[in-house]
Structure 1
């Protein structure tokens, strides 16, 4: 009986460990596809393989989001100021915000969203959406960017998206470094420390 109990416990522990290792390895291999291409807040093409070789904090959001997205953007804006004080924002790290609703979030809407949060349009915080003339294909691009990180989103039909609540730090080659919670759980100090560790 005792041997059976020990065997069962051992199998459970092996299963848990294997599950943890699966998620660790999966995250470690996550990379934004180099050929992924969207447009920025000015309607200009942005291709990830041609992006600046900097650390990037990647946020997925949509401008009509009533809670978690604007809270995250606001906290990222405060984090940006912390990084500016250290002299690294724009030089060694930049922010990328990608809409999950390119139909509504046109380049003009993204620009207005930046203004609403008093975000300086200096090329160091880039807002990405779809080309209004190529929305269906660009929505596929957004899905291809989100998929390696297992960021999921869907519109249940009321315009308020259900989505994963995570932001992602990627390295100079757009490869996963670490994920962080969104909204009220976005710990500015934790994200700051991780970014500084990676620089």
Structure 2
């Protein structure tokens, strides 16, 4: 009698385990899969003057890391460009620089940041124009494009601006897939996370 009871318990236990495993598999495959880099927004395509290539078109089927800056910026902008320089090196090492991925720097101060000023500024960071684009537009164009990224900025005086410190990871379909903080004196940009996110986008597109 006891033997039959124990056998029955073992059978029920085994059936419980099997049903649990099967249920887990069904839930795993049918549960909605969420992208680790969800679409945050879509940027309307634009063209801007590029100091090295005449015109830059956002519609170029590449992944971009976009940062707004200005050359008179005393802190976050130059610190961020130093980190961009290291990212440029890493992208070249991965053989994706210029081919699959671009760094894009858009000046907020086109009145001061002429083509010549930006060219010299780019040289100071050893920027390779093959995959590191430096852009400028008119004041109206700059404002319009900044608004597309919900980028906030305001001139404080003749030389300085107050501006958001957000960078944008944009995929080949012009969709914002991640945002990051620019560098500051206490913390560089999170290059490791950015590299992982860009690698993910390049391989999934």
Give me the TM-score of the superposition, normalised by structure 2: 0.74
The Cα shift of 1:119 comes to 1.4
Equivalent residue, structure 2, for 1:197: 200
Distance 2:201 2:150 in 1: 23
Task: Give the structure with the higher percent helix.
Answer: 1
Q: Point out the structure with max Rg over C-alpha.
A: 2
Distance 2:139 2:53 in 1: 15
Segments of 5+ residues of structure 1 without an aligned counterpart are 1-24, 131-137
Equivalent residue, structure 2, for 1:119: 127
Secondary structure class of the residue paired with 1:183? coil
The Cα shift of 1:158 comes to 4.3
Equivalent residue, structure 2, for 1:44: 54
Segments of 5+ residues of structure 2 without an aligned counterpart are 1-37
Is 1:97 matched with 2:105?
yes
Secondary structure class of the residue paired with 1:172? coil
Task: State the superposition RMSD in angstroms.
Answer: 1.9
CA change 1:160–1:191 in 2 (3 A) is: same
The Cα shift of 1:78 comes to 0.2
Secondary structure class of the residue paired with 1:180? strand
Number of aligned pairs? 163
The Cα shift of 1:191 comes to 0.8
Show structure 1 runs of 4+ deviating over 4 A: none
Give me the TM-score of the superposition, normalised by structure 1: 0.76
Secondary structure class of the residue paired with 2:42? coil
- Aligned with 1:30 (options 42, 51, 74): 42
